[in-house]
A and B are shown apart, each in its own frame.
Chain A
Amino acid sequence: MKKPSLVLISMLLIFTMFLAACGGNNAATNTPSETPKEETPKTEDPKPEEPKKDIELRVFSTFGGTDAARESFQAALDEFTAKNPNVKINNDTMSANDDGFRTKVNTDMNSGNEPDLLFYFAGIDAQGFVDAGKVVPMNDILDADAEWKNGFTPSALENTRQADGNIYAIPLTGFYEGLFVNKKLFEENNLELPTDWDKMKKAVETFAAKGIIPLAAPFDQSHYVVEHFILSAAGPEGQAKGLKDGIDPNWEKGYAAMKELYDLGAFPKDAATIDLGMASNYYGTGKAAMILEGSWAFGGFADAAVKDNTTVIPFPVVPGGLGSGKDIIGGFGTGFYLTKATYDNADKKDASIALLKHMTSPATIQKIAVANGGTPAAKVEITGLAQAAMDGFKMAADSTSINNPVDSKIAPETFSTLRAAVQQVVTGKKSPADALKEAKAIEDANKK
């Protein structure tokens, strides 16, 4: 009995080592290997005689699930396939509600399974696959088609520029974040909208006494809480510095302000264990008076009456904060990438560029912007939106600065540490200074 098992084990071992070796090579060199070629042998066959060859393009995006623009996006794709019957489009989507799609995108990009067009974040999130040369710089393609390029608002294109100076992502719609307030609840309680800190405190006290949740914010998924408090405390320059060169002492004020509001009863009682979806549910059903959210949130509010009574304002300046009270978070943080593997594929190249141009044409951008309430990246007029969404655009237009959120300035692990610190600080288990020191230590370790 001994011998066969020995044979089996050694076979296994060799097999495992073979696999491990493959993986190791791939990861160590980081160069686009031959894998994509091997995986798509059918489309590689050069058949130049046939001009209209049947091809399939995979477009990965987050326009799925409950996304407000899901149907408009699909319609835009259908428009393209109607005009180009030889192209089949695989509309591959994943919900943006959790971080799962980031993992999917990064795994796909890293394992030779790139989609043809990818709709994803620009900036630090894309740094990995941009540096690895997995996507094509769009500068030349943009310059070659002036009509297409001139369709965009210049600032929108500028906003997706990577650190290396190239534009890789072609934007569709932008976003803004702000304080969403239920005007009706404020009126019913004779309160003024929280445009400054005193009004904010007054509102929190009044709502808390009445049993209405003042600010629907979760501790764990406190992305928007951290972003707004830090921006308001440190101002646009202070937050843009991140934590690279030491801790800006003004950041502490943001955390101190969180504690101040928590002590007044601002957060939901179960803030520790709810997620963003539940927080949005509290606001959307009229159980909460305020929520920090982004322009995409309108679709998620369950109650139509709440939607109609919502307006969006900038988050007020925290005590001692350097913000102007008109600084908002927003930008064009996402766009379409054309992957290198597709660009190098003679069959797919032209069709995918045509599709990209179609999907980012002013007409498509307009339709998507109307559907999701985002700021359009093209010079188009948006009409027929709900009042709240128009308020949001107005807020963005009146703002003194539009800032990329602070998580685009620091490592993901640092941002997680900042989020985890929210509960610790507001419940008094940790001082704001200690929380920031801890985040700084993580940021430093990430630079190693």
Chain B
Amino acid sequence: MKGDRKYILIFLFPMAAFMSIFLYYPFFKSLYLSFFRTKGFFDKKFIGWDNYERLISDNLLGASTLHTLELMLYVVVFQVGIALLLAVMVDNISKFQGFFRTVFFFPVVISGTAISLLFVLFYNYNFGLLNGILANLGLEKVLWLSESNALKAVAVPTVWHYVGFYFVLFLTAMAKIPGDYYEAAKLEGIKGFQKMTKLTIPLIMSDIKVVITLAITGTMKVFEFVWVVSRGQNGTEVLGTYMYKKALVDQNFGYGSTIAIYMVVLGVILALLANRLLKSEEITY
């Protein structure tokens, strides 16, 4: 074992180098840029904490944070909830398991932008699918992306896109539960709904924890759904789109970087918080 360490290190280094180039270097560069006022790509000036002062007093950023948190709530409740429900149901059937696994996992492989474009055509006021159905039924057209509704409308494709991913994670976790637990439960007379709440879910709690953490950090990165479906208008601006607008549309890379740093800090805090709240002992079979 001792002599192997050298080789382990050698083999770890390329990946570590890769990560530093594409993850840590950009992060530190963002930190560096967040202290500058930039004008386009070629001109920048050190301004100390000014960007951070703006961060604190920026109403739009506050609104984006709230929208992101609201989206996060939908994602945690529905994405994880639906995935769990589907996994429990599929776990309980013996036929067609493979079929359902494929069907539910499929949206994950489609690009988010393609799904968003699909939903643009669903929601469009003038010739969208939903309003087309309503019109055929003789009902009044609905403005699906109105100010009160737009964020929920954006949440639908966001949730749907990744349900399959968590579904597969849950299903794998459930497959790991030894069969004798269920046999014992059967002898005790526990079945159906009780089996799920008393046995399956407690046994995969650590996986649920991981999934919730993934869902929370994943929501911090939501960009394409908002950008394509609503362009961040009507109360749907999230941190991802706001950062993009500031950095790349407005070419204010300094402030954009500051927002990026804020997102990292917020993401870490939320993930830690979720971990703390969901603390549970590890179960080994």
Contact = CB atoms under 8 A, between A and B. Distances in A.
Given A4-B8, A8-B9, A270-B126, A412 B17 contact: no
A332 interface: no
Given A15-B17, A16-B25, A268-B126, A128 B32 contact: no
Contacts of B250: 411-413, 416
Given A24-B32, A282-B126, A16 B40 contact: no
B29 A273 contact: no
Chain A interface extent, by class: 35 or more
B212 interface: no
Interface string A157-183: 000000000000000000000000000
A30 B41 CA distance: 10
Interface in A191-235: 213, 218-221
A7 interface: yes
B51 to A, nearest CB: 10
A129 B126 contact: no
A30 B28 contact: no
B76 interface: no
Interface in A6-29: 7-8, 11-12, 15-16, 19-20, 23-24, 27
Interface stretch (B42-50, B81-89, B97-105, B171-179): B42-50
A129 B42 CA distance: 7
Contacts of B145: 270, 272-273
A99 B21 contact: no
Contacts of B20: 12, 15-16, 19
A109 interface: yes
Given A220-B233, A268-B126, A416-B249, A131 B43 contact: yes
Interface string B244-285: 011011111000000000000000000000000000000000
A446 B231 contact: no
Contacts of B5: 4
Given A4-B8, A4-B9, A273-B233, A110 B42 contact: yes
Interface residues of B, number: 45
A443 to B, nearest CB: 12
Given A20-B29, A109-B41, A269 B233 contact: no
A107 interface: yes
B13 interface: yes
A278 B147 CA distance: 19
Given A221-B231, A269-B125, A273-B234, A412 B249 contact: yes
Contacts of A408: none
Interface in B1-29: 5, 8-9, 12-13, 16-17, 20-21, 24-25, 28-29
Contact of A412 (B37, B143, B230, B251): B251
A24 B39 CA distance: 16
Contacts of B12: 8
A127 B232 CA distance: 29
When A and B form their complex, which 4 residue pairs have the shortest distance between CB atoms, in order from nearest? A413-B250, A128-B42, A270-B125, A106-B41
Given A273-B231, A445-B37, 6 more contacts: A20-B25, A106-B40, A220-B232, A273-B233, A282-B126, A448-B37
22 contacts: A4-B9, A11-B13, A12-B17, A15-B17, A16-B28, A23-B25, A24-B32, A30-B42, A106-B42, A106-B251, A129-B41, A131-B42, A132-B42, A219-B233, A270-B125, A270-B126, A272-B233, A273-B150, A416-B245, A446-B39, A448-B47, A448-B50
